[in-house]
Every structure is written in C-alpha cells, then in structure tokens.
Structure 1
C-alpha cells in the first residue's frame, strides 16, 4: 500500500509521460523526487532549489576548463547533480502547488547559466591548447543555437501539455497577455519584475515567430473552443504531435551532455561546438518544420469545420 502511494506521488510530480524523456524517468526524476520530498519537509522553496542548481551547474562548467580528466569527472558529477536539482524544483512545485511564472523563468535561466559557463570554459581551454581567439565565434554561435533549441523544445512541450491537459496543466504563455501585463507595471515601482518580464516577453515572441501555423491553431482553438476542447481534437492532436516529443528531447540536456562527456574523455572539446551547430541545429529545424505541418493539418480541419464542425 505504501509502495503504491509512493508511486502515485511520484507520477503526480511528473508533467506527463508524453513529454518525459526515458533517461529522466529512469534516473533524474526519481532522484529529483527524493530531493523534492526532503525540501518539502524542511520548507525549501522551488525557487531556492533552482538557485542552488545554478551554483552547481556553473561550478561544473568551470571544472571543464582544466585538461585533467579527474577534475573533469568531478565537473560531470556536479552537472548531473545540478540537473537533478533542476528536476527537483519542478517536481517540488507540483507537489506543493507552489508554481509561479517567475519560477518558470528562473528555471529556464538556470540552464542558460550552466551552459554559458561551459561554453566560456571550453573556449578558454581550447585557447590554452593553442587555438586562436576565433574559437569564441563558434562558442557564441553554439550558445545561440542552444538557446533556440531549448526555447522551441520547451515551447512545443508546453503546447502538447496544453492540448492534453488544458491550460491548468500547461505553462503555455502568449506575448499578447504578457505585453498587457508588462504595460501595467511601472519601471519605477516594479523595476525588477518589469525587467524580468521584458526578457521573458522577448523570449516568448521568439518562440511565436518561429511557429506561425501553430499560433494560428492556438488562436482558432481559443476562439472556437473557449471552455473545453473536443475530446476528438485532443485525441487527434496527441496522436499526431506525440512523435514530435522525441525530437524535443534530443535537443535538450541529456543528448548534449552525453556527447559533451564523450568529447571531454577524448580531449576533443571543439567537437561539442560542431555537434551543437551541425547536428542539433538541423534537428531543431526539422522539429519546427514538422510541428508546423501538424499545426497546418488542424488549422485546415477546424477552418473547414468538417472534422470538428459539430463543436463549433
């Protein structure tokens, strides 16, 4: 009975089986769940866990500068622990119902801090090995590519959750609502909040600009089904969109870190930048193109009214 209750609590701490990666389910989420349980008992908030993860992730990046595999190994362990904390903060937020937009924004920035540290350390390491200052160009390009990859993967996951769980089960935002909130804030009275929201607004606009057909679909869904989506639409969207989730996982943490560890082991860290630009970026482009085709299919179906017309 206790084991069943534990499994139920663990499953409830997850976003969705559709959007969870196998490595996360088997490794990071169980560790994160244990950490979240401890934090819930002693009163540590999800945002505090996120901030702690930033220190471990940045420290890991610093250790990747050294051309000593033992030190790099410690960095690998720190990065794994940082990602376990990153898992724990979301699980803790769901377990304690302590979810907030600021927490989501902070959680996204945490990964950016980790990988900014990693990119800087790898560039300095390569320069120490005799590479020219031009390696920073590749470091920056890989960093920009990483931002786009993470942004779109996170966005598509939230869209998927929006369709299968509704607005309450998703963290999907839109620039129109965010801008209305931004205008209401004062730079003098709400300086920090406005600064953070301004950055998040730009981030959200970037996601929307890369997914025009998806924006049209979301607009149609909100117009025609303002209260609840037809179950047939939910079923059909899940069936067509679920295969896309494996690509959102590929361009996220686990794949890039597995290869990062490989490049560190063979001391060819320049390959990390090549992998990010030449392998993960084409996957991102394919992912965007495929999602737009899925969205276009449902846009056409809803506009024709022949598939979901009885619900219009």
Structure 2
C-alpha cells in the first residue's frame, strides 16, 4: 500500500478533516486505520473492537496504581493501544456500514470506563498520603470539569460538521427530538433503546444548556431557512469555528493523555487533576466564549 493510498483511505474514514488536528490524523487515526484494515480482513465486528478497547483502557488505569516505572510504562502503552482501537472501531464501522445503537453506546462508554479506572486507581495509590482529599479532588476534576469539557468539545465538533456538511453528515441531536422519539417507543418492543435515550437525552440537554447562544442561532436558522442554509452563511460559520477545533481536540483525549503520561512518569499523579481543573478549564471557558460570540454574530448578520 502506497503512502498516498494510505492517506486517502484514512481521510475517507474521518467525519471531517476540519475537526481533526495534524497529530490526530497522522498519528492516532493512521494507527487506528491500519488496525481497522486488519479487523476488516478478519471480519471482526466494530463492537468487538470497542469492547477490547474498554478492557485495555481499564487495565491501563490499574497499572497506574503502582508507582514503579515498569507498571507506568505498561499503563501508557495500554492506554495508547486502547485509543487506537477506539479510533479503529469507528473507522471500521464506516468502512463496513456496520453501525448500530449498541456500537454508539459502547463507543461513548469506552472513554468513561478508561478514565474512571484511571481516576480510581490514582486515588487508591494516593489514599494513604492524601486520605479523603484526593477523592474529592478527583471527583471535582472528573465529574465537574472533565465531563463538561468533553461534552461541549464533542458538541462543538458536531455543530461544525453540521454547518460544513449538513445535518445528515453529523450527529447533532436535539434533546427535544430525542425525548419525543423515546416517548413513541414501547417498553415491550424497544426497552434497550428507551434506556439508552433516557441517559442520552440528559447528556444532550447538558450540552445545550452550556451553549445558549448556539441554541438560539440554530432555532432562528431553522425558522428562517428550514433545512437549506445559504452557502455563504455556512462558509462564514466554518471560518469562525475552524480555529476553535484545536481547542476541542485539546479538551478530548490526546493532550489529556500526554499530560497524564508525564505526571505518572515523574510520580506526581495528583497534578493531572490540577491540570484539568486549571489549564483545561481556562481553555474550556475561552472556547465557549468564542463560540457563543460567533453564534451571536452569525445570527445578527443572517437572521
């Protein structure tokens, strides 16, 4: 396989090049794509790949319980491996068309399991020295900071793809629409989907609550233009939103993982929680401020 054909194949499995940075495309996604090709040849289902990634990520967290270099290096390797598989499952699903509700649930669940394991075992490791305080620090960093940072970053990526490619090419969902969808389902026939939607509605609603100007813009555009937005509007939003995509990448996995690896290697794991509470929160609020202003300006111009 030539480099050009590999590059073309990788790009064909991306949701959007706009939302992926150089490192994500040429390092993370490249490795994921090679694994996806391997699994495709073996006829492995994407959900099986996701389950393996969950196990690998959970094991990585366990390795961080120990403070020696051997276990730390194993934890780093396992988390990188888990992330490759997390990329591979989506790329494999897009290659083969094997998309499913279970796959979407597992994909969202994977990262939660990884970081729960990492937080839990770091807290166990530091419990004797810190006591209750490390658990409180981790709870604030994870439940208040990490969850909101990732949720809004994911939402802004989908908003960007919506303006770039249209509603059918993104996963920009409305909590109101999803709630109506859940209401129409019968427990006897679709209990699994109803349970999923129950939690997904709350996740989507939290994204909407963090982006009021964006919600106002989307409603105004729907009222004025329906499902067909003017090309110049879409391009103007894309130009304003694209520079913010680097912040969505920082707030998701790669930068988090890099900082985690560094603090584990220097044997100061509590600094990871401090990083989430300080540096990532500053980026989170800055990204939100810029995006909300972009939405207000677009609405003022076109509505």
Interval of TM-score (by shorter of Structure 1 and Structure 2): over 0.9
Say yes or no: does 1:270 pair with 2:285.
no
Q: What SS does structure 2 have at the residue aligned with 1:268?
A: coil
How far has the Cα of 1:192 moved from its partner? Answer: 2.4
1:203-237, CA deviations, whole angstroms, 9 ceiling, x for partnerless residues?
Answer: 00000011111011111222333342211111111
Partner of 1:14: 14
CA contact (8 A) 1:40 1:92 kept: yes
Q: Quote the Cα distance in structure 2 between the aligned partners of 1:74 and 1:110.
A: 19
Q: Which stretch of structure 1 is more off in the superposition, 8-17 or 257-266?
A: 8-17
Conserved? CA contact 2:233–2:302, under 8 Å: no
Match of 1:138 in 2: 137
Matched, 1:192 2:192: yes
Extract unaligned runs of 5+ from structure 1: 304-312
8 A Cα contact 1:244 1:291, kept in partner: yes
Tell me the SS of whatever aligns to 2:173: coil
Q: 1:223 to 1:291 in 2, by over 3 A?
A: same
Provide the rounded CA distance (Å) in 2 between the counterparts of 1:3 and 1:285: 39
What is the TM-score with the length of structure 1 in the denominator? 0.92
Instruction: Sort the Cα spacing of 1:125 and 1:138 in 2 relative to 1 into closer, same or farther, 3 A.
Output: same
Question: C-alpha displacement at 1:300, in angstroms?
Answer: 1.1
Local SS of the residue matching 1:18: helix
| Corresponding residue number in structure 2 for 1:35 | 35
Match of 2:292 in 1: 292
Pair 1:71 & 2:71 matched: yes
In the aligned structure 2, how far is the partner of 1:158 from the partner of 1:102?
20
Contact 1:220 1:302 in 2 (8 A): no
For residue 306 of structure 1, what is the aligned residue in structure 2?
none
Q: For residues 152 and 72 of structure 2, what CA distance do their matches in structure 1 show?
A: 30
- Indicate the residue corresponding to 1:82 in structure 2: 82
Alpha-carbon RMSD across the aligned residues, in angstroms, is 1.6
Structure-2 change in CA distance of 1:71 and 1:3 (3 Å):
closer
Tell whether the 8 Å contact from 1:105 to 1:200 is kept in structure 2 after alignment.
no
- Measured against aligned partners, the alpha-carbon deviations of 1:140-164 in whole angstroms (never above 9, x if no partner) come to 1111111111111111001100110
Give the distance between the partners of 2:52 and 2:215, measured in 1 at CA.
Answer: 35
In structure 1, how many angstroms separate the alpha carbons of the residues matched to 2:195 and 2:121?
Answer: 28
* Residue in 2 that maps onto 1:309: none
Gap runs ≥5 in structure 2: none
Aligned counterpart, 2:166 = 166
Relative to structure 1, is the Cα distance of residues 74 and 94 closer, same or farther in structure 2, using a 3 angstrom cutoff? same
1:43-54 maps to which residues of 2 (within 5 A)?
43-54=43-54
2:191 counterpart of 1:213: no
Change (3 A) 1:227 1:95: same
Per the TM alignment, residue 189 of structure 1 is displaced from its structure 2 partner at its CA by 4.0
Q: Deviations over 1:7-45 (max 9, x none)?
A: 322210112221002221121111111111122222222
- Hey, what does 1:249 align to over in structure 2? 249
Conservation of the 8 A alpha-carbon contact between 1:149 and 1:281: yes
Aligned to 1:94: 94
Following TM superposition, by how much is the alpha carbon of 1:195 offset from its aligned partner in structure 2, in angstroms?
A: 1.3
Count of equivalent residues? 302
In structure 2, the CA distance between the partners of 1:31 and 1:210, relative to structure 1 (3 Å rule), is: same
Paired position in structure 1 for 2:116: 116
| TM-score, normalization by structure 2 | 0.95
Deviates more, 1:161-170 or 1:113-122: 161-170
Choose 36-45 or 262-271, whichever is displaced more: 36-45
